[in-house]
Amino acid sequence: MEVIIQPNTDAAVELVSQLIAREVRANPRAILGLATGRTMESVYGRLVQLHRTEGLDFSRCCSFNLDEYVGLRADDKHSYRHYMNRLFFNQVNIDLRNTHLPDGAAADLETECQLYERRIQESGGIDLQLLGIGQTGHIGFNEPLSPWNSRTRVVTLVAETIRQNASLFGGADKMPRHAITMGVATILESKKCVLLATGTAKARIVAQTIEGTATTSIPATALQLHPHCTIVLDEAAAGELSRTRRRSQD
């Protein structure tokens, strides 16, 4: 894993946005693996800006998001499809038909998971996977003890994740208890991945992810096995790392 510590959140967001932009410029048909959550909002904001000011072209890109809540339709304002359309897809020139999220409202969730996995494989696989990290150490919604050979499937969200996201739903009782997520193995198969973590709340889990023993108790530690994984942090998220890390001038 390459760990890059930026002086502040804006610089960390800028670097991640530039890594994505670089991928898209080098490979206009890039298959992007995308994430949602609060951390990613400013990344999408910056990519939209790069599209508007520098003509960053997503017209031939294809995307697969990590996860979606079970039971939410695409037009539900809490769904990740709604988040992606609002913050990114509708503001750039990506063809909506080439954007994919699992359908959390599918009648047959098992089949939906298999289809999603097959669609990723048929596309040729993910070139660049963007990742956030939850305080449980989840990547996507792979909660602690997710098997490392797991693939796209329905999972139960743990209490800590519900606590962290409840305010976005107006209370824990309104939040779905299940989600469809790409599996750990699906994520590890991406050709490159970039994980962005910012803020002091992520410092402990970031240190465990980077410096701890790889264990299914902390799903993000599986990234230690990924051949091309970059972790971008701001100073706050890097605050509990014990070793000196490279500072990027990028």
Three-state SS at 243: coil
CB of 34 to ligand F6R, least distance (A): 8
CB of 39 to ligand F6R, least distance (A): 3
Kindly indicate which of the ranges 44-52, 132-140, 152-160, 224-232 contains the residues binding ligand F6R, using the contact rule CB under 6 A: 132-140
User: Of 102, 132, 137, 219, which one interacts with ligand F6R (CB under 6 A)?
Assistant: 132
Q: Does 234 bind ligand F6R (CB under 6 A)?
A: no
Query: How buried is residue 12: exposed, middle or buried, by Cβ count under 10 Å (0-12/13-18/19+)?
Result: buried
CB of 106 to ligand F6R, least distance (A): 18
User: What size, in residues, is the chain?
Assistant: 250
User: Binding-site residue total for ligand F6R (CB under 6 A)?
Assistant: 13
Task: Identify the DSSP state of 158.
Answer: P
Q: Does 66 bind ligand F6R (CB under 6 A)?
A: yes
Q: Does 176 bind ligand F6R (CB under 6 A)?
A: no
CB of 80 to ligand F6R, least distance (A): 6
Distances in whole angstroms, Cα of residue 196 to Cα of each of 42, 134, 154, 227: 11, 11, 24, 17
User: Of 134, 137, 176, 219, which one interacts with ligand F6R (CB under 6 A)?
Assistant: 134
**Residue facing ligand F6R at closest CB distance:** 132
Kindly indicate which of the ranges 6-14, 31-39, 69-77, 229-237 contains the residues binding ligand F6R, using the contact rule CB under 6 A: 31-39
Distances in whole angstroms, Cα of residue 175 to Cα of each of 79, 100, 130, 131, 186: 11, 22, 24, 22, 26
Helix (H) or strand (E) holding 181: strand 178-181
Amino acid letter for position 84: M
Q: Does 143 bind ligand F6R (CB under 6 A)?
A: no
Q: Does 138 bind ligand F6R (CB under 6 A)?
A: yes
Q: Does 36 bind ligand F6R (CB under 6 A)?
A: yes
Report how far Cα 212 is from the mean position of its chain's Cα atoms.
21
Reference 222, options 181, 185, 191, 192; nearest CA is 185
Kindly indicate which of the ranges 84-92, 119-127, 138-146, 239-247 contains the residues binding ligand F6R, using the contact rule CB under 6 A: 138-146
Contact 100, 64 (CB under 8 A): yes
Number of H helices, E strands in the chain: 7, 10
CB of 54 to ligand F6R, least distance (A): 26
> Where do contacts with ligand F6R occur on this chain (CB under 6 A)?
35-39, 66-67, 132-134, 138-140
